[in-house]
């Protein structure tokens, strides 16, 4: 179990120069307290106080724990299937609570649950790291070695050190092995690298010494428990109502979009959000390294995830394998988490050429850099192939303030001679006004919609304006769950007039 190294375990540090915040966390029925300090001259300290059993009680719990292990009957499916983790933890917790009450009578309900929770965390969980996993204010949890404290990245305060230490390198290895087994992977001296994920969907990377020279490591990237919606992005000023309406129209009429940006710019988040504009009568296949896409339940959606192989790559299923397979599943839309290799890009653009609507992300800072990366080594696609890509939406993250913005939306316009492709920037973010503004009138989208929908330019502009009203309504009413936003989009497709009347009222 991860325990703070202090004279009095879990006592919050009070000698820091400034207390920034304090709040409660609950994990497995145990309520803990977080206090964040800002000592002078160093990074903030994230101090976690967890109530501990008295030494005599803790010693007695060891016998209760052995009894618990004898009584619980586990199937191989429960041990290895990550989807059954919640049921398994509940089974352990219920029996642990029953045994604690029987063996240690006259305990309060809260105290009995705390003791049961400690046993569940030790036997099935990650010790005190479980509390960090329940803190929605954290983005990263980093175990760098047993000799160093656990570090976290807080959404409000950035990098913070904590008062938690993992007791030994062996315990870090145990935690990494536990995580790996749940997804059918191993981390060993021969295979010292692990990419996996937790039942919550949080991504995990682990390394073993001597690959990591100071000790074994675990890095957990946490994802928001509540998926982002277009309402959240509008309220956060990440995108404007007008630009979101423009993207909505492009999504409805099956224009292909590539989302680009640097690390942490919000590429996957905005891809997830705009895919909520997909009409409900279409079949969607998503392909990812780690499950991050969340679509409304009414869509016919098949999420697929790559699988790392064991030694010598046996049993691996790559993104390329899944992309090729997806083309045989009669998809209307294909969503790809991230394009990294030339083979993946080739299959992606082949899917566009065969009439599928495709959406993907790629590491590149701007629209121009995205274009250059696609046509330069190692991807090196012919420019003529890029004609099937309609838009590039680039994301930006201000590293000083942490804000994320849609930076540019650019159309890729083929030349009349078919020899090259040029970019037309339709919208650009102006940092001095913190606002997305129109740079140039759309050319390709207007031409495509005129061709395939028989709308004229005025009708297209009116449609964008009308959708912006719908999005303004969602933001004004703070309707921000995936299902509720999805229902509004469906209503617009099915009965536009009644929705607009409702909004007008």
pLDDT (0 to 100) of residue 309: 66
The 8 Å CB, 24+ separation contacts for 459-466 are 460/249, 463/249, 464/242, 464/245, 464/246, 464/249, 465/245, 466/245, 466/496, 466/500
- What phi-psi label fits residue 207: left (phi over 0), alpha (psi between -120 and 50 degrees) or beta? beta
Query: How many degrees, rounded to 5, is the angle at CA 113 between CA 78 and CA 21?
Result: 105
Pair type for strands 30-37 and 45-49: antiparallel
- Omega before residue 460 within 30° of 0, cis: no
Distance CA 236, CA 126 (A): 34
Stretch 487-500: mean pLDDT, rounded? 95
User: Which helix (H) or strand (E) is 139 found in, with range?
Assistant: strand 138-143
- The predicted-structure confidence for 193-236, as pLDDT tens digits, reads as follows 988 888 777 889 999 999 999 999 999 988 777 889 999 999 99
Smallest Cα–Cα separation from 60: which of 120, 115, 136, 8? 115
pLDDT (0 to 100) of residue 12: 45
- The predicted-structure confidence for 372-399, as pLDDT tens digits, reads as follows 999 999 899 988 888 899 999 999 988 7
User: Which helix (H) or strand (E) is 408 found in, with range?
Assistant: strand 404-414
More confident residue, 264 or 161: 161
pTM of the model: 0.77
Fold of 230-504: Rossmann fold (3.40.50)
């Amino acid at each position: 179990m991860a325990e703070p190294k202090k004279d009095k375990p879990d006592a919050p540090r009070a000698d820091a120069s400034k207390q920034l915040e304090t709040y409660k966390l609950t994990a497995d029925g145990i309520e803990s307290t977080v206090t964040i300090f800002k000592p002078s001259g160093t990074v903030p300290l994230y101090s976690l106080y967890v109530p501990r059993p008295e030494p005599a009680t803790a010693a007695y719990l060891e016998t209760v724990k052995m009894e618990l292990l004898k009584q619980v009957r586990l199937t191989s499916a429960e041990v290895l299937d990550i989807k059954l983790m919640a049921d398994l933890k509940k089974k352990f917790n219920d029996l642990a609570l029953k045994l604690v009450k029987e063996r240690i009578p006259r305990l309060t309900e809260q105290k009995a649950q705390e003791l049961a929770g400690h046993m569940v965390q030790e036997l099935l969980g990650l010790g005190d790291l479980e509390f960090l996993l329940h803190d929605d204010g954290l983005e990263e949890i980093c175990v760098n070695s047993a000799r160093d404290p656990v570090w976290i990245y807080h959404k409000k305060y950035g990098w913070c050190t904590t008062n938690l230490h993992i007791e030994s390198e062996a315990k870090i290895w145990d935690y990494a092995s536990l995580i790996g087994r749940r997804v059918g992977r191993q981390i060993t001296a021969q295979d010292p690298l692990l990419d996996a994920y937790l039942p919550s969907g949080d991504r995990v990377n682990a390394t073993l010494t001597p690959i990591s020279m100071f000790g074994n490591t675990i890095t957990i990237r946490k994802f928001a428990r509540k998926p982002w919606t277009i309402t959240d992005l509008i309220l956060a000023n990440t995108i404007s109502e007008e630009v979101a309406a423009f993207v909505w129209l492009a999504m409805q009429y099956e224009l292909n979009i590539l989302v680009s940006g640097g690390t942490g710019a919000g590429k996957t988040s905005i891809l997830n959000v705009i895919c909520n504009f997909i009409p409900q009568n279409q079949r969607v296949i998503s392909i990812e390294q780690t499950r991050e896409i969340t679509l409304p339940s009414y869509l016919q959606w098949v999420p697929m995830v790559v699988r790392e192989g064991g030694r010598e790559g046996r049993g691996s299923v790559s993104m390329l394998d899944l992309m090729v397979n997806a083309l045989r599943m009669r998809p209307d839309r294909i969503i790809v988490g991230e394009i990294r290799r030339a083979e993946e890009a080739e299959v992606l653009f082949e899917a566009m050429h065969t009439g599928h609507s495709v959406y993907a992300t790629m590491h590149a800072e701007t629209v121009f850099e995205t274009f250059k990366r696609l046509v330069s080594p190692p991807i090196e696609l012919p420019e003529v192939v890029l004609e099937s890509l309609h838009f590039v939406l680039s994301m930006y993250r201000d590293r000083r303030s942490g804000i994320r913005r849609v930076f540019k939306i650019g159309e890729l316009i083929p030349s009349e001679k078919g020899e090259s492709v040029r970019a037309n920037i339709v919208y650009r973010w102006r940092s001095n006004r913190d606002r997305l503004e129109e740079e140039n009138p759309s050319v390709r989208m207007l031409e495509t919609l005129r061709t395939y929908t028989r709308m004229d330019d005025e009708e297209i502009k009116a449609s964008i304006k009308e959708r912006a009203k719908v999005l303004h309504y969602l933001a004004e009413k703070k309707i921000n769950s995936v299902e509720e936003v999805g229902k509004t989009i469906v209503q617009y497709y099915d009965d536009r007039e009644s929705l607009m009347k409702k909004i007008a009222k």
